[in-house]
């Protein structure tokens, strides 16, 4: 499988920084200790930690509680841009980002901040379409979901799922949508509605990014559409009385809390399992990254403080299967990838 730009960039950085055998031994020792569940080090409030606004409240709140003392987290429209700003002093900066910067963006960041820059994946977030446990189950694709639920999906809007595709059940179309401006809503809009809109694009589909997003994510006003205000408990209540044919949009973290109440639909031929999300087979999943920006003039003490905060974020108690970020909707990576993330950050912060 070809390496992504981020993977190529990070492997080059890791190779250069790990040539020193002393650093290599330190990386292995610290990574191993954290994997075994060593307690997270106290976070220094002097280290800036930014978070993309699109990540939502739950993940940001969980990041604030990574140590005994509350870590300050600044939410920005673009956390990576905030971390890459030219700033007085040499303090390292960390950023939780919903979209990994490209290789070119990383290079520009390194130049503008006069810094070493690294990006590590810390977990994934995903959304699913579910139906009540006693409902018929069918497989959909993102194009069909857009045509069924989208305001701009069909010139003549379908009344039943069979009107979208004869292979689907002849059941009335309706949906329970996520809370407004939630992370689940944004993922659904971007990964299902916009992806489906792109599949069936017509001359009516706007070209510019902002107008296209609004066009593709608009939901029908002539079908039963209800917007929930809360989390998994609201979905459970809905599932107890929803008519057949109704679907709900939930995060995969919520899905895990809804056992025996709902069942997920296949999307583009894949279920939202950990294996399908890890391999990229499931389309409605997105990677979350930690970006580390270390100015060239950073002192050993400043690097040490940044390492403490980064270790707290990357510890098993944060990004492990039972960690605090997992409880906020972050899907845990396989153990080897969690160790690799810790090792990469050590390599960067222990260079000098």
Helix 21-35 vs helix 300-314: angle between axes, to the nearest 10 degrees?
Answer: 40
Query: Cβ neighbours of residue 32 under 8 Å, at least 6 residues apart?
Result: 339
Orientation of helix 300-314 relative to helix 335-349, angle to 10°: 170
Which is higher by pLDDT, 44 or 264? 264
How open is the CA angle 20-24-26, to the nearest 5 degrees?
Answer: 120
According to the model, what pLDDT value does residue 191 have?
96
For 66, the 3-state DSSP assignment is coil
pLDDT at residue 2 is higher than 80 = no
103-114 per-residue burial string, b: 16 or more CB within 10 A, e: under 16: bebbeebbeebe
pLDDT in tens, 268-287: 999 999 899 988 999 999 99
- Model pLDDT, residue 55: 86
Which pLDDT does position 40 carry in this prediction? 42
- C-alpha closest to that of 341 among 100, 67, 91: 100
Q: The tokens 């979350």 sit on which residue?
A: 288
Residue percentage of the chain with pLDDT more than 70: 85
Q: Could you give the CA distance from residue 146 to residue 4 in angstroms, rounded to a whole number?
A: 29
Domains, the chain, ordered by start: 5-123+286-349 (3.40.190.10), 134-260 (3.40.190.10)
pLDDT at position 87: 73
pLDDT at 164: 95
Per-residue pLDDT at 165 exceeds 90:
yes
Identify the three-state secondary structure at position 174.
strand
Give dist(CA 137, CA 155) in Å, integer: 26
- The DSSP annotation for 248-290 comes to EEEEHHHHTT-TTTEEEPPBTTB---HHHHHHT-SSSEEEEEE
More confident residue, 57 or 186: 186
């Amino acid at each position: 499988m070809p390496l992504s730009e981020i993977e190529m960039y990070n492997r080059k950085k890791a190779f250069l920084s790990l040539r020193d055998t002393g650093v290599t031994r330190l990386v292995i020792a610290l990574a191993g200790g954290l994997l075994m569940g060593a307690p997270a080090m106290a976070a220094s409030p002097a280290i800036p930690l930014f978070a993309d606004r699109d990540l939502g409240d739950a993940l940001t709140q969980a990041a604030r509680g990574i140590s005994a003392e509350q870590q300050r987290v600044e939410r920005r429209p673009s956390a990576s841009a905030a971390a890459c700003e030219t700033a007085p002093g040499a303090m390292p900066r960390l950023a939780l980002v919903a979209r990994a910067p490209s290789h070119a963006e990383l290079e520009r960041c390194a130049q503008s901040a006069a810094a070493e820059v690294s990006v590590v994946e810390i977990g994934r977030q995903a959304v699913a379409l579910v139906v009540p446990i006693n409902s018929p189950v069918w497989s959909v694709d993102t194009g069909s979901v857009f045509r069924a639920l989208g305001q701009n999906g069909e010139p003549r809007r379908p009344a039943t799922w069979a009107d979208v595709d004869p292979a689907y059940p002849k059941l009335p179309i309706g949906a329970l949508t996520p809370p407004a401006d939630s992370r689940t809503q944004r993922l659904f809009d971007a990964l299902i509605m916009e992806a489906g809109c792109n599949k069936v694009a017509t001359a009516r589909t706007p070209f510019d990014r902002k107008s296209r997003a609004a066009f593709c994510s608009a939901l029908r006003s002539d079908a039963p559409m209800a917007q929930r205000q809360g989390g998994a408990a609201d979905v459970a209540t809905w599932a107890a009385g929803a008519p057949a044919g109704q679907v709900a949009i939930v995060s995969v973290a919520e899905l895990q809390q809804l056992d025996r109440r709902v069942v997920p639909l296949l999307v583009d031929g894949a279920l939202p399992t950990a294996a399908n999300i890890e391999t990229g087979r499931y389309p409605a999943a997105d990677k979350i990254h930690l970006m580390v920006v270390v100015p060239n003039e950073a002192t050993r003490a400043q690097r040490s403080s940044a390492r403490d905060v980064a270790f707290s974020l990357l510890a098993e108690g944060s990004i492990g299967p039972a960690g605090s970020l997992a409880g906020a909707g972050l899907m845990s990576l396989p153990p080897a990838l969690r160790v690799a993330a810790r090792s990469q950050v050590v390599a960067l912060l222990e260079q000098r």
